[in-house]
Structure 1
Amino acid sequence: MPERPADPASLQRALNALQAAHPELDPLAALVLLALDEQPPSENGVSSALLARYLEIEHALIRRACTTLEEAGWIRTQPAGGASPALRVCWVASL
């Protein structure tokens, strides 16, 4: 994953713009979408554990946000495999 933006103000602007365009998104779900949007396209998606480390947010909260986003049709998830609680997260609808 790329490093987080050095300018927190730019992240805040992006978050505000996304929530203005999609007011149904809670802040954490919007952050997850912004983080996914920064990733190169991949058939395998992105690990929810990697998203948690990237955003420095508890993995359980990222999984919850992913569940909300999947129910809303933004993403699809599948188990990462093995005993890991991680999910593979893939876009369904892009920003």
Structure 2
Amino acid sequence: MSDFSLSIPTPVPFDRMLSLEGKCAVVTGGSRGIGEAIVTRMVKAGAFVVLTGRGQEALTRVEAKIAAMGGKVVAVQADSSSVEDSKKWVFSIL
């Protein structure tokens, strides 16, 4: 017989399960639907988020929503399939 032990981990509060403090994330298509939900969750986890999308109106709305939560976010209008547009959000991080 082998020695086998099983332990139950100490519960951790949900807000500390995924800590992204001090990290920067880029979410393409972050102005609606699943992308917006990902941006919101990453900000809640402490990340600085750069989000991109093609519609400026939706980007502005998400940026305002995140700012009202106290989160750090930059919204950049860009089509991620375009190299020139991709340069825009890369330089927004620098």
Confirm or deny a common fold (TM above 0.5): no
The structure, 1 or 2, with the larger RCO (C-alpha pairs under 8 Å, 6+ apart) is 1
Larger Rg: 2
Q: When you count strand as a share of all residues, which structure comes out higher?
A: 2
Q: What's the TM-score once normalised by structure 1's chain length?
A: 0.28
Q: When you count helix as a share of all residues, which structure comes out higher?
A: 1
